[in-house]
Amino acid sequence: MNHTPHRVAGKTAIVTGGRGDLGSATAALLAHHGAKVASLDVAGVPAAVSHESIKEYDVDVTNEDSVAEAIHRVSDDLGAPDILVNAAGIIGPAGASHTASVPDFDLIFNVNVKGVWLMTKHVVPGMIGKGAGSIINFSSIHGITGGRNVPLYHATKGAVRLLSKSDAAAYGAYGIRVNSIHPGSMNTRMSRRSAEQSDIGPEAYYKQLVGSNPLPRQGEPNEIAYGVLYLASDESRFTTGSELVIDGGYTAI
């Protein structure tokens, strides 16, 4: 890690999905660089990392009462948030659109889109009061490109991408920046499970997945976390409504 931990010093950050691979790496890096971090996730999920500046909270991002209560508690404990990282998300079942069910649709849109909107809705008033804030929403390379395997997931990530741009336009006058981050294939527990369950075996699975990328490997969670750190910090104070793609070049070809 970079040993100059001053990039978000004194700021309060909320990270949803904070106990997952990408969320926990993000929470740890923000804490290392001086932020007071609230790591929010569903009850019962164990924390992947610990840090004296990370405080754990349970939340259901699909439930407005749960979101409002969690943000109220964070604000009381750590102060009104300066940074919101919406990293919580699910992929849902694979299959073409005609094979999905209404419950499949509702679940993935509730977590991936409604959850981002609810968190933003309840964090923004405090940021307006401060006259500043940075919101980073996790989309995906598949919020930019399509794909045949999980179309509902892709649709949610496209929605997050455009919600980010719309909120950037709406809140810029209040000093609030909103950007989306777009990871490619990442070395996470979810990816490793998919590789182990594939019919072709892990080695062939990864070759098929990233072998044709300009950088032919998966990304590491910390490589996404550093992108979030940039967007969260004042270094990016003229950056809003943008897409930060970290994908090993997948979308370049």
- Give me the active site residues, please: 153
Please tell me the distance from the alpha carbon of residue 247 to that of residue 223, in angstroms, as a whole number. 10
Give Cα 19 distance to the centre of its chain: 12
Q: H/E/C letters for each residue in 47-112?
A: CCCCCCCEEEEECCCCCHHHHHHHHHHHHHHHCCCCEEEECCCCCCCCCCHHHCCHHHHHHHHHHH
The residue length of the chain stands at 253
Distance of CA 148 to the CA centre of its chain: 23
Distance between CA atoms of residues 217 and 219, nearest Å: 7
Cβ-based neighbour number of residue 236 at 10 Å: 17
Nearest 10 degrees: Cα torsion 184, 34, 132, 62:
50
3-state SS of 4-15 is CCCCCCCCEEEE
Residue 135 near residue 179 (C-beta atoms within 8 A): yes
Quick check: helix, strand or coil at residue 143? Answer: helix
Half-sphere exposure (Cβ direction) of 8: Cα atoms closer than 13 Å:
31
